[in-house]
Structure 1
């Protein structure tokens, strides 16, 4: 696959790390729930009184790495990662508006 960028989602999570692999003027639209969100994150949000949007930057909601590539290669990349024992899914798309939007 022709990988355009890889972002390790650590401290700073979605808002700080992913934009680093994008070009100026680009952003990202994330579709929440396109990956398995473990119950522990809902527990922490509820009982820790963490604002929902902050959960993506503090705990990353279970996403460890983002790989940016052309949409036409997404399934091939998922198949390769799955064969290697990893869980992978398409979680969003690159947009022409800077910033990270989570829907």
Structure 2
């Protein structure tokens, strides 16, 4: 399902998400697979999630606290986008 099918499941009806590509570390293997596997760029987000293992949608005011909690458990986390009033997933 990747980004287009899975992320909307955590949002309310009428909401969407805008993802800021590169706001997290995109490992070189994904660029390699895209180039040599001739995988369309947008499909990389649906097939491989571009390295994103989990998405949590929460109030922006709580983001840094959540990142700190995850870091305390040895996890890397980043703000990768924002919820919008337009359904779907936009990648910028």
TM-score calculated relative to the size of structure 1: 0.88
The structure carrying a bigger strand percent of its residues is 1
Q: Deviations over 1:11-41 (max 9, x none)?
A: x110000101111110000000000000000
Q: What's the Cα RMSD here?
A: 0.4
Unaligned runs of 5+ in 2: none
1:54 aligns with 43
**Relative contact order (C-alpha < 8 Å, sep 6+): which is higher?**
2
Of 31, 40, 52, 2:29 maps to 40
TM-score with structure 2 setting the length: 0.99
Of the three residues 65, 72, 76, the one matched with 2:61 is 72
Query: Could you say which structure has the higher helix fraction?
Result: 2
3-state SS of paired residue (1:69): coil
